[in-house]
Structure 1
Amino acid sequence: MNGLAALGAAPHWLVLPWSVWDAWWLAPAALALDLLLGDPRLPWPHPVCLLGRCLARREAPVRRFGGSGAGAPPRLKLAGACALALLCAGTGAVVLLLISLPVAGGAFALYLAWSGLAMGCLARTGREVLRAVEGAPLPEARAALSRLVSREVSAMDRPTLRKTLADTLSENFTDAFFAPWFWLLAAGPVGLWVYKAVSTGDSMWGYLNERWRWPGWAAARADDMLALVPARLSVLALWLTDALARLRPAARPWDGRWPGFRAVAGQARGMPSPNSGWSMTACAWLCGCRMAGPSVYFGTRVDKPWLGPPGAESAPWDARRLAALLELERQAAVCGGLALGLVCLGRRAFS
């Protein structure tokens, strides 16, 4: 019998293999590998690339089913939802098969947990883009940033490039790390990679433009749902990190202040996405600079509210503040991530 079931915390059939309930060490080991080494560099493609290829092959059948005319939107929504469901079911089944193999299952579980977290890759890419923004010719700096963002960068000057880099780094603290981490703890590599399948669908199809509004509707809504709790927990992680860093001021390179959870929630709810504003707002306040505001996506201006302390336009993003933001997120991945894991284990021990 599984140790969790013996404690009576949950029925055995609810405990997915290699979740925090079943293997306490897997998530911390994956986090350490991610932060130290970044994405695994191996001869085969990264699993996210495989998900992207599978989804790209589904576009043509989805559009054939949707057709054209007045009835196209509901058919496209249905076809997009079916494509996403098949991708998630297939992903979950393959991952479950791999981690259930005798002998090799543990190695597959560690690899899949490690490759599903992207904090190390986000930090490394963020530093590379920051160097380009600060030191490369403007066209090269724009090209470097375009690897991270979907918004239009061709007309951005350097201050706008810096602000946009801060936006994407803080938003991706949830998307690239905290949501995958949450699902790894809760449901092991199976839950993590089902979430990654949804997230990949949202990043490829979840745009509010003419091409993707209906085929990507299901992916966007599913991503909103699966990231709802992690986005709010990411604020707790950032708050905890700041509170601990204040005990050692030398470990706190960011110079903003914590405004309180009510202020963070009030600003975050004003964003068009139900989840993106939470980590962005917390990071903006802690770094003492503004984020969000009007942006251009695929030629269309999107008016977002400004996040962060009032009057922060007098303290624009610069290389020092962006480096502090990267350090804040690194510490939050360790402090907040491990704290959430310990809470889960504590609940297991006392259930």
Structure 2
Amino acid sequence: MESIVFAFVVPAVAMILDSLFGDPQSLPHPVRFIGQGLDLFEGSARKVGLNMRAAGWVAVILFGIGAWSIAEVLVAIPYVGILIALYLAYAGLALGCLVKDARRVAFLLDTEDLAGAREALSMLVSRDTSKLDPAGIRRTLAETVSENLNDGFVAPMFYLTIFGPGGLWAYKAVSTMDSMWGYRTERYKDLGRAAAKTDDLLAFIPARLTAWALLLTGWKRGLNYGEAKVRFEEDARKMESPNAGWPMAVAAWLMNGQMGGRAVYFGEKKEKPILGPKGRGWDRDMIRTLIFLCKSAGHRIGWVFIIGLGWLQLAF
């Protein structure tokens, strides 16, 4: 009975809680502990003069195994272990928070609060948003919503339904590390290399499943399915990341809106590959449809994982 609870009930309830309440920001959150640990690790590694590339690989192994082990110990505690498992699963999913934050940016823009929209968007992306016009805000929002559908929800759910909370938090540890260190700046180009490579590997399958979930959901909603199906894979491969382009390209073609183009990161201009129909902007209705599309696709594939991949937990 307990194995059935962990395989099916825990991920199902966690997904429902995430949809209803979003991220439990007012409670002790594992990501914050991981982030604090990574800051301490980086400071110590630089202080003692470790080779940064080697230190990055040590961090991947140490934090990945550590997160898995701590989660497994906690969920094995008699009586309360199931409640802890539920909280760890819920805290590891971020679709509800993504949808809520994206809708806030869209609302601020729709009410002509350009400064507020820029500030709210800056909480979701690493690029500079201070000079974005409404068209740039909508395009950037479309990119981050479609990309983070995988990073914040599909990939964590994938590992949760196969390996339980331990697997989810091993993935989240690497993903958090990549978010903090995975930049090609002078400071992080060596330290973050291991996290970026590991995150690329772990997200490889989920990113492609995310793309197909979006495509099938778009087909059911009568969006630009035919052209998206034919063209998204070619566009997806234009990106530097082996994974980010997959959900982004599908969303761009389904919605008939361009993604990519010029963006500013850490004061430097960067030309990103064009995904979707070149020159086609995003309007209010397109953004709202995309947010709903991503939410629907996430929930659809979540239930597929729970019903299908949950059996793997029972098998092992």
Common fold, TM-score beyond 0.5?
Answer: yes
Of 8, 16, 30, 1:32 maps to 16
| Contact 1:62–1:80 (CA under 8 A) maintained in structure 2 | no
| Contact 2:258–2:274 (CA under 8 A) maintained in structure 1 | yes
Higher-Rg structure is 1
Shift of 1:62: 1.9
Matched, 1:160 2:128: no
What is the correspondence of 1:166-205 to structure 2 with a 5 Å cutoff? 166-205=142-181
Q: Secondary structure at the match of 1:275?
A: coil
Shift of 1:229: 0.5
Give deviations 1:51-90, integer Å, cap 9, x for gaps.
11111111111213446xxxxxxx1100122123222222
| Contact 1:62–1:215 (CA under 8 A) maintained in structure 2 | no
| Contact 1:21–1:348 (CA under 8 A) maintained in structure 2 | no
Could you tell which deviates more after superposition, 285-294 or 205-214? 285-294
**Aligned pair in 2 of structure 1 residues 166, 208: CA closer, same or farther (>3 Å)?**
same
Query: Once the two structures are aligned, what percentage of the paired residues are identical?
Result: 41
- How far, CA to CA, are the matches of 1:337 and 1:233 in structure 2? 11
Task: Number of aligned residue pairs: give it.
Answer: 316
Shift of 1:256: 3.2
Of 261, 268, 272, 1:304 maps to 272
Q: Secondary structure at the match of 1:148?
A: coil
- How far, CA to CA, are the matches of 2:312 and 2:56 in structure 1? 38
What is the correspondence of 1:68-87 to structure 2 with a 5 Å cutoff? 75-87=51-63
| Contact 1:152–1:297 (CA under 8 A) maintained in structure 2 | yes
- How far, CA to CA, are the matches of 1:198 and 1:60 in structure 2? 18
Shift of 1:343: 3.1
TM-score, normalised to structure 1's length? 0.84
Give deviations 1:165-217, integer Å, cap 9, x for gaps.
11111110111111111111111100000100000000000001111101111
Shift of 1:92: 1.3
Q: Secondary structure at the match of 2:210?
A: helix
Shift of 1:344: 2.7
TM-score, normalised to structure 2's length? 0.93
What is the correspondence of 1:259-278 to structure 2 with a 5 Å cutoff? 259=227, 261=229, 263-278=231-246
State the one-letter code of the partner of 1:223: D
Which stretches in structure 1 are left out of the alignment for 5+ residues?
A: 4-16, 68-74, 247-254
Structure 1 partner of 2:309: 344
What is the correspondence of 1:60-75 to structure 2 with a 5 Å cutoff? 60-66=43-49, 75=51
Shift of 1:240: 2.4
Matched, 1:58 2:62: no
| Contact 1:257–1:287 (CA under 8 A) maintained in structure 2 | no
Q: Secondary structure at the match of 2:90?
A: helix
Structure 2 partner of 1:23: 7
Return the structure number with greater helix share.
Answer: 2
